[in-house]
């Protein structure tokens, strides 16, 4: 223990609270306190509600010191000198998810209660008597002082490339499918130039959004302005509570009831929340009395700025020998921003995300020897330094996560925060479906080999996701049984399942055509729209196929022809029948990350799973026609597995037909998993 901490632990204090009467709103007092050393401001539900403002710390924890261990070092409160509900002082600051934390010990502060007004609270020691008397007078004068408003400006926010986040989400899904994780939180970061007063930014944004756990902490030229809605830990006496948030749905203006019901009925969001509740119960169980840990509430739908959230509460009673240090070591970082199992999720986050999170997804709050401990989860948090402001956003990824929807969730979370700054993100809105597509419904085609419907669960899961997203209902529970009932005694057959907006489910069985072995591609540029769903209406695709075949015939190209769709940015999308892969010289498989204009192919996913199982390298990245023209390529199909592309617009591609045929055989083998 350092000399500073020894001196702190040797202090003997009494808890004092001096009423100062009514005064300005907390945001105004924060602005007036500009220039104070180590300024901290907590607004919202902290310590029972109101505001806590602290400055001029007694000590700042040294760089490199263990912040969690420091939380266990407190001055002693003299017997009989306790005052119920008084914070008085303590450790305030942030615990970083990764990187340096910031903790400072304050032995006095201003406290605001909406009904009683302001008070000066302190952990009063004989050694600091004269100084604390001076500080009480200075803070009383601060409440009477003139208002001060300083300008600030945030530029236009931008972030990483969309493919980067889509790739990370899809890799996370891969880990879940492989059984390494149940859930993992994948985050990204928006940033903008910043100039002016960080504390005024915080005061303005907190005033606009009114979050439950707003927190502002200054540390030299760095500031953290958090607008978090989430309680990480609250300890009063031996009782401890955590309230993880998992599950989100937008709150459109004037449609609160419908959007809340949508979130309440979301099986995916409920499953995510319950997983984190189980994780937090396990974390608290390591330090709480046996049998005391319980879910006090489960899956409550709560309104927050711009969104609805699912919130649960877990409580327990700490064992007698457990202090704040042991509590934090058992629970930090918060489970809602890591995943389950936690240690493997943390490891995966380090590989999936492009850089450190810093304070974001850590914790912000205080540990007081008189009141107890309270920390928020550092989400909805602006990190300000070096002329930049950054905002991290993310979400939990599970086996059935859709990358573009995870990206949309990030935008929904960021929108009210950027709006409070008068800014928006620089990303275009998502694609939309046509009315004909929506009316026609969605479908799946499943190959049956030797009485086995290949990847039936994955096909029905994709169909179920589309139905929930597009129509607000899922695939009926008996759909799998209906598929099996429709199957006939042929060696190869197809089962087609169509679901319409009217909840009609049609299951049809026909003989399967022979697998396609090779094709030639004709480029079709500029396809737009929403193609993440397998639309039953194929008019556009059928027309593209007819045009491609006619062009190939006119050019004298021999072979089965498929249109090869290319986006406006020049990157290859897919064919009209399946996703496209490059086969690198070293055997690496390359395919574009999933986005709005790409179907999340079941066979595509099966290939990536197979590559993982066999140790083959894969890359999820965009590629151009020019790269395709010099590389072996194929497209995927539930009926054919993998189909070689021999040429594109008359340009022959390198051929490795035997390798592609071997891959197709594995994909079509009914005896593989």
- DSSP for 408-435, please give it: HHHHHHHHHHHHHTT--BS-PPPP---H
Tokens 């574009």 locate to 592
H helices within 557-638, ranges in order? 602-614, 625-628
Tokens 């330094």 locate to 385
The sheet with strand 452-453 has its strands ordered as 452-453, 442-449, 492-499, 505-511
Strand ranges inside 12-161, DSSP E? 12-21, 40-44, 50-54, 59-60, 76-77, 90-95, 102-106, 108-113, 117-125, 152-154
The CA distance from 612 to 619, in Å, is: 11
Query: What residues form DSSP beta bridges with 154?
Result: 194
CB-based contact 427:443 (threshold 8 Å): no
**How far is the CA of 653 from the CAs of 258, 493, 501, 564, 616, in angstroms?**
52, 32, 42, 14, 22
CB-based contact 513:445 (threshold 8 Å): no
The CA distance from 176 to 399, in Å, is: 6
Strand ranges inside 331-426, DSSP E? 339-340, 363-368, 372-377, 381-385, 388-397
288 secondary structure, DSSP code: B
Q: What are phi and psi of 318, to 5 degrees?
A: -65, 145
Render the burial of 468-494: b for 16+ CB within 10 Å, e for the rest.
Answer: bebbeebbeeebbeebeebbeeeeebb
Nearest-5° angle of CA 267, CA 272, CA 276?
145
Of 230, 272, 390, 574, which one is the catalytic site residue? 230
Q: Which of 643, 655, 594, 649 is nearest to 625 (CA)?
A: 649
Q: Which of 571, 575, 621, 565 is nearest to 601 (CA)?
A: 575
What is the total residue count of the chain? Answer: 673
Strand ranges inside 450-560, DSSP E? 452-453, 492-499, 505-511, 518-525
The CA distance from 407 to 169, in Å, is: 9
Q: Is 246 a catalytic residue?
A: yes
- DSSP for 615-637, please give it: T--EEE---BHHHHTTSEEEEEE
Of 56, 246, 390, 413, which one is the catalytic site residue? 246
The CA distance from 359 to 582, in Å, is: 40
Q: Is 230 a catalytic residue?
A: yes
- Bond preceding residue 480 cis, omega within 30 of 0: no
H helices within 33-186, ranges in order? 67-70, 129-144, 162-177
Q: What are phi and psi of 672, to 5 degrees?
A: -80, 165
The CA distance from 259 to 267, in Å, is: 15
The CA distance from 412 to 400, in Å, is: 19
Nearest-5° angle of CA 493, CA 498, CA 502?
160
Q: Which of 92, 40, 101, 376 is nearest to 241 (CA)?
A: 376
Catalytic residue ranges: 230, 246
């Amino acid at each position: 223990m350092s000399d500073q901490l020894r001196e702190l632990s040797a202090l003997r204090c009494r808890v004092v609270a001096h009423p100062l009467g009514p005064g300005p709103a907390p945001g105004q007092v924060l602005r007036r306190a500009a220039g104070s050393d180590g300024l901290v401001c907590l607004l919202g539900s902290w310590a029972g509600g109101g505001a806590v403002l602290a400055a001029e710390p007694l000590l700042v924890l040294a760089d490199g010191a263990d912040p969690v261990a420091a939380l266990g070092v407190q001055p002693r409160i003299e017997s009989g000198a306790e005052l119920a509900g008084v914070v008085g002082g303590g450790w305030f600051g942030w615990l970083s998810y990764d990187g340096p934390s910031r903790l400072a010990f304050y032995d006095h502060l201003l406290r605001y209660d909406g009904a009683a007004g302001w008070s000066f609270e302190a952990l009063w020691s004989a050694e600091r008597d004269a100084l604390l008397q001076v500080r009480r007078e200075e803070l009383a004068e601060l409440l009477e002082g003139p208002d001060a408003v300083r300008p600030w400006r945030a530029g236009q926010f931008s972030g990483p490339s969309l493919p980067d986040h889509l790739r990370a989400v899809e890799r996370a899904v891969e880990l879940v499918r492989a059984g390494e994780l149940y859930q993992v939180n994948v985050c990204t970061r928006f940033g903008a130039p910043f100039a002016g007063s960080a504390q005024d930014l915080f005061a303005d944004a907190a005033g606009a959004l009114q979050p439950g756990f707003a927190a502002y902490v200054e540390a030299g030229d760095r500031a953290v302005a958090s607008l978090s809605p989430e309680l990480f830990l609250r300890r009063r006496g031996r009782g401890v509570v955590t309230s993880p948030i998992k599950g989100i749905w937008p709150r459109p203006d004037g449609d609160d009831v419908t959007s809340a019901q949508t979130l309440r009925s979301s099986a995916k969001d409920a499953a995510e929340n319950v997983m984190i509740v189980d994780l937090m119960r396990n974390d608290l169980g390591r330090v709480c009395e046996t049998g005391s840990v319980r879910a006090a509430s489960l899956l409550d739908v709560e309104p927050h700025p711009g969104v609805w959230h699912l919130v649960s509460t877990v409580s327990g009673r700490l064992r007698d020998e457990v202090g704040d240090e042991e509590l934090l070591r058992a629970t930090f970082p918060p489970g809602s921003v890591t995943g389950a199992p936690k240690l493997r999720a943390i490891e995966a986050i380090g590989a999936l995300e492009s850089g450190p999170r810093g304070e974001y997804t850590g914790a912000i709050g205080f540990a007081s020897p008189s009141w107890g401990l309270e920390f928020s989860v550092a989400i909805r948090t602006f990190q300000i330094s070096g002329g930049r402001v950054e905002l991290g956003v993310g979400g939990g990824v599970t086996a059935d996560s859709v990358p573009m929807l995870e990206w949309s969730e990030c935008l929904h979370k960021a929108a009210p925060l950027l709006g409070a700054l008068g800014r928006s993100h620089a990303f275009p809105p998502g694609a939309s479906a046509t009315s004909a597509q929506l009316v026609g419904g969605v479908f799946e085609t499943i190959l049956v080999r030797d009485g086995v419907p290949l990847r039936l669960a994955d096909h029905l899961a994709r169909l179920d996701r589309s139905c929930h997203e597009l129509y607000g209902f899922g695939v009926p529970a008996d759909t799998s049984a209906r598929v099996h009932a429709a199957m006939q005694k042929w060696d190869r057959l197809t089962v087609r399942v169509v679901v319409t907006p009217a909840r009609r489910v049609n299951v049809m069985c026909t003989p399967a055509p022979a697998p396609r072995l090779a094709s030639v591609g004709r480029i079709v540029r500029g396809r737009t729209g929403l193609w993440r769903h397998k639309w039953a209406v194929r008019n556009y695709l059928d027309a593209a196929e007819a045009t491609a075949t006619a062009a190939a015939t006119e050019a004298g190209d021999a072979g089965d022809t498929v249109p090869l769709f290319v986006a406006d940015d020049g990157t290859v999308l897919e064919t009209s029948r399946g996703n496209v892969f490059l086969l690198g010289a070293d055997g690496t498989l390359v395919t574009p990350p999933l986005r709005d204009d790409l179907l999340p192919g079941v066979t595509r996913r099966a290939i990536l799973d197979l590559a993982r199982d066999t140790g083959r390298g894969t890359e999820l990245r965009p590629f151009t026609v020019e790269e395709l023209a010099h590389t072996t390529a194929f497209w995927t199909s539930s009926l054919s597995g993998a189909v070689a592309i021999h040429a594109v617009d008359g340009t022959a591609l390198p051929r490795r037909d035997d390798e592609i045929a071997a891959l197709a055989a594995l994909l079509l083998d009914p005896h593989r998993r």
